[in-house]
Amino acid sequence: MRRIPVIIDTDPGVDDAAAILMALGSPELDVLGITTVAGNVGLSATLTNACRIVGLTGRTDLPVMAGARGPLMRDQVFGKYAAIGAFPVPLLGGPAVVPSSENAVRFIARTARAAAEAGTPLTICAIGPLTNIALALGMHPDVGRGIRRIVCMGGAIATQGHRTPWAEFNIYADPHAAEIVFGSGVPLVLFPLDVTTQALFTEAHVAEFRARGGAAGRALANLLTEYDRSDPERYGRPGGPLHDPMTIAWLLRPELFTGRGARIGVQVGGATSGSTFADFKAPSPRSAVITGVDEAAYVALVLDRIAAHGAGRAAASQKVETE
């Protein structure tokens, strides 16, 4: 099996934690590094959270590093839990990995250029503001040539945003970076709120994370309990979405999703700054918007890959006991 080389660019965040844990529980993916950006919380907190999330999986070999402290041009905005900063220690438990001293933007650029030279372009899973990626793309032409595609959770096309009525947070936090990435010519697969809100995780699913996923699953269950995502008024039923893992799920099981080619853009100024649009009448062969998901299969896939951490630890313990 040829593994997919991936960089996860992130601003953890509960959804981001689920996506990272899912990726690291998936043998189909070769995660090359975790790069962090200011977004849900400040940069030091996103780095701390990422190091502790990776620590839950035992991947001490995986580089985790900090990138941009703020957006390219607009005033900085944070997520609704920014005042809390890093996740409280009791929610995650376990040791944190030591962060790399390399800057995230340089890591993305260096790794992508090496991939271009080797003829093995990588995939970037962009699940935070796009600042790091925009800066990396501007460093050298080989950076874009070394990226096979950017799989991005962001935007709201036909549905309302969740930060403003017109904007999803990741794009709203740095619309100028999104404009650079969307216009870069690098193939783009966009997961807007239109699709991510089609799949909801209930209290029963949280209990399953806790029961099956070992330390990683318990930590994710703690986060989902502490930062409850249910919104029956908005979604019309119990439960809440996990937006970011859809980027990972699509890499593993693209047949679970439907989408359409489109020219994708973003408003960078004025009262509706951060709003995204998709022109389906003038589709681009290099960009697509995901519009539908098999909810049951997606939820099951996330549960199974988080559970892989618990199964792996249990198998390791059994091996030690029988030797």
Spell out the residues 6+ positions from residue 35 whose beta carbon is closer than 8 angstroms to its own: 7, 8, 9, 10, 65, 67, 104, 105, 107, 108, 132
Tell me whether residue 176 is one of the annotated catalytic residues.
no
Confirm if 35 and 108 have CB atoms less than 8 A apart. Answer: yes
Confirm if 76 and 38 have CB atoms less than 8 A apart. Answer: yes
Q: What span, in angstroms and rounded, lies between the C-alpha atoms of 3 and 126?
A: 19
Q: What is the dihedral of CA 184, 19, 300, 319, to 10 degrees?
A: 130
- Catalytic position from the list 176, 205, 243, 309: 243
Position of tokens 């939820």? 299
Q: Active-site residues: which are they?
A: 243
